[in-house]
């Protein structure tokens, strides 16, 4: 099943939970990129009250099966065409222990449209990743498959923000990986 539809220990769908965390962490607006089971995920968002919220834009990545690169392109395309934001915080839905404190720490480390900031967990790079607007065109030209921004970031000076004291950054690949 799509990870966004998994439910945490309180039975809150991951897609709903991560939106709340993003706002609590300091995001003013959120662009949600849906892929697999987008109809079901949209229904979850509507039930939670996110659909129609002026601070939330929901877009569907039609080529989601290509990998996270396609989702990142869809989100950045949407932002580039309709947002005045100077940066985008990229957060994955399948990181159950990455909460508002991690998101806020990464956002606080940013310094405008030229920023590249990523969370690390005991020195290992992870998400969220903050991408300054001046990098969006380069990212759009370079992302593909399931690699997202990894290659782009490897060739640039990225500010790494240690968050291992707040979370593990471990992702959930299967329901049995969920914390109990």
Which structure tokens are listed for 159?
């500010």
pLDDT in tens, 130-169: 999 999 999 999 998 887 899 999 989 999 999 999 999 9
What's the rounded Cα separation, in Å, for the pair 155 and 163? 22
Tell me the pairing of strands 30-34 and 56-60. parallel
Give the pLDDT score at 18.
95
Tell me the pairing of strands 124-132 and 87-90. antiparallel
pLDDT in tens, 124-137: 999 999 999 999 99
The pLDDT of residue 114 is above 90: yes
Instruction: Please report which helix (H) or strand (E) contains residue 14, including its range.
Output: helix 14-25
Query: What is residue 59's DSSP assignment?
Result: E
In sequence order, the β-bridge partners of residue 73 are: none
Structural domain total, the chain: 1
Give the pLDDT score at 178.
66
Residue-range definition of the domain harbouring residue 156: 3-177
> Residue 120: which CATH number?
3.90.550.10
Give the pLDDT score at 81.
85
Average pLDDT over residues 34-47: 92
């Amino acid at each position: 099943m799509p990870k966004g539809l998994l439910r945490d220990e309180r039975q809150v769908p991951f897609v709903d939970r991560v939106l709340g965390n993003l706002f609590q962490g300091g995001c003013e607006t959120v662009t949600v990129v849906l892929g697999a089971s987008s109809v079901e995920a949209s229904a979850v968002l509507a039930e939670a009250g996110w659909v129609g919220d002026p601070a939330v834009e929901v877009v569907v990545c039609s080529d989601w099966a290509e990998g996270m690169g396609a989702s990142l392109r869809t989100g950045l395309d949407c932002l580039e065409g309709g947002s005045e934001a100077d940066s985008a915080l990229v957060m994955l839905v399948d990181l159950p222990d990455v909460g508002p404190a991690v998101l806020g720490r990464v956002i606080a480390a940013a310094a405008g449209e030229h920023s590249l900031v990523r969370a690390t967990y005991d020195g290992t790079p992870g998400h969220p990743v903050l991408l300054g607007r001046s990098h969006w065109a380069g990212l759009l030209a370079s992302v593909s498959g399931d690699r997202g921004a990894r290659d782009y970031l490897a060739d640039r000076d990225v500010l790494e923000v240690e968050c291992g004291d707040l979370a593990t950054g471990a992702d959930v690949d299967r329901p049995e990986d969920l914390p109990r």
